[in-house]
Amino acid sequence: MADSKALFLTHGALMFLAFGVFFPLAIIAVKALRGSTRRFVAVHIALNVLGWILATIAIIIAYAKFDAMDTMHARIGTTVIILVWLQPFAALLRPKVGTPIRPFWFVLHWLFGTGIIVLGWANIFFGIDIYRDTGFAGKARNIYILYGVWIGILGLIILFLDKLPQLPGMARGDNDVKPGVNGHPTIPKVGGPTKEYHTEAPANVV
């Protein structure tokens, strides 16, 4: 019983680190360091690799040691892990910036990444439900609150960084924020040329 509890907690901790820390930080890094040099893109990749390793170990524990694989938590977890495994291959196959297929690839990559994060966050709540049902209702309640606050903070940070390129224009009252090359937003600059804000890796790092 003690071994099962330890494995359950290990599985949960690894999934939290993957989906609650490393994958979100990878998104935050690429948004916060947009337009930067190659080493910052490497940060995005390294964080994703760490999350990928931890999530893979966690799902191996689940399939090897747990019997309840027909639950909603297990089904969502399996789906998410499939997406997690497909995402690196999509990254390896990314086309060069400026090619006709690049926008399509970028949207697909974004959808996969967003789906992984959203489903992963939701599935951790289902995992906490299982923890609660095993006799730890009091502890589970506190974990619900702490985890909810944590992903709320992460969500706000990601949303803020996503809107950051538009803030200068919004502060000046500009209403004509338009997409630039490859869909990157451009902000009209008073007394100077229009500035383009890149939302993906610059051309010299792909």
- Specify whether 154 is located in the same domain as 189: no
Domain assignment of residue 189, given as a range? 168-205
pLDDT tens-digit map of 186-206: 444 444 454 444 444 444 344
- Specify whether 145 is located in the same domain as 193: no
The larger pLDDT score, comparing residue 73 to residue 137, is at 73
- Give the list of residues 6+ apart from residue 125 with CB closer than 8 angstroms, or none: 144, 147
Say which CATH number the domain at 18 has: 1.20.120.1770
- Specify whether 96 is located in the same domain as 185: no
- Specify whether 74 is located in the same domain as 128: yes
- Specify whether 110 is located in the same domain as 173: no
Q: What is the structure's pLDDT at 120? A: 95
- Specify whether 63 is located in the same domain as 85: yes
Q: Give how many domains the chain has, as a whole number.
A: 2
- Specify whether 133 is located in the same domain as 199: no
- Give the list of residues 6+ apart from residue 85 with CB closer than 8 angstroms, or none: 52, 56
pLDDT tens-digit map of 141-180: 888 999 999 999 999 998 888 877 666 555 555 554 444 4
- Specify whether 102 is located in the same domain as 158: yes
Q: What is the mean pLDDT of residues 105-119?
A: 89
% residues pLDDT > 90 (the chain): 33
Q: What is the structure's pLDDT at 29? A: 86
Q: What is the structure's pLDDT at 197? A: 45
